[in-house]
A and B are shown apart, each in its own frame.
Chain A
Amino acid sequence: AQTVTQSQPEMSVQEAETVTLSCTYDTSENNYYLFWYKQPPSRQMILVIRQEAYKQQNATENRFSVNFQKAAKSFSLKISDSQLGDTAMYFCAFMKGETSGSRLTFGEGTQLTVNP
């Protein structure tokens, strides 16, 4: 079974600054995907970024980037130039690579607050 751990229940950052959210996971799988999801108060889960385990290059999406350390089973999210709209709960998630859809295994979440 897979487990995902987020050790930071809450974090805060000043607007325009950079913040890093941590995530570690445990699996015996070789083929898998890792994700960061954002959940604002509206409860709508929104995909922020994904990383394929077979790719060494870290994924980047505009202000969001990840630091994927496969050997250490670490997957952190860096948010640059933080904006007020980034305030939300952030979840790290794991998914086995299969021929079709698979379940997402989520961490406990990190509540990020961006202060003006």
Chain B
Amino acid sequence: EAGVVQSPRYKIIEKKQPVAFWCNPISGHNTLYWYRQNLGQGPELLIRYENEEAVDDSQLPKDRFSAERLKGVDSTLKIQPAELGDSAVYLCASSSYGPWGEQFFGPGTRLTVL
């Protein structure tokens, strides 16, 4: 069974440029998560989807970040415009329905903003 797929693995951009990350969850997983992991820290949730619906986006900086999950499968996270402080690893995870459904993580996208 294929795991969570993310692309690109690495991205280097200049500040004020837009950037987008893509995630394909494990087949059949209805819950999808985007986490941000700053250097030397643990991941923090940005947004959680149940199928197509964003059910927890309280930590998403909505002035510059946006996300979508069309058809309840793939998801895209966008930053526009990027700032220096956005440099981090962006992790996508997915889980199946259930009280504690194990979250399976992708390899992440390392973003560097110059």
User: Footprint of B on A, CB under 8 Å?
Assistant: 4, 33, 42-47, 50, 52, 91, 93, 95, 97-101, 103-104, 106-109
Contact call A99/B99, Cβ cutoff below 8 A: yes
Number of chain B interface residues as a range: 20 to 34
Min CB–CB distance B50 → chain A (angstroms): 6
Min CB–CB distance A108 → chain B (angstroms): 6
Question: In residues 45-99 of chain B, which contact A (Cβ within 8 Å)?
Answer: 45, 48, 50, 56, 89, 91, 93, 95, 97-99
Cβ–Cβ < 8 Å partners of A43 in chain B: 89, 91, 107-108, 110
Cβ–Cβ < 8 Å partners of A93 in chain B: 42
Majority-rule SS of A interface residues: loop
- Of the A-B pairs whose beta carbons lie under 8 Å apart in the complex, a sample of 19, sorted by A's number, is A45-B105, A46-B105, A50-B100, A50-B102, A52-B100, A95-B100, A97-B99, A99-B99, A100-B98, A101-B31, A101-B48, A101-B101, A103-B56, A104-B45, A104-B103, A106-B42, A106-B43, A106-B44, A109-B42
Min CB–CB distance B54 → chain A (angstroms): 13
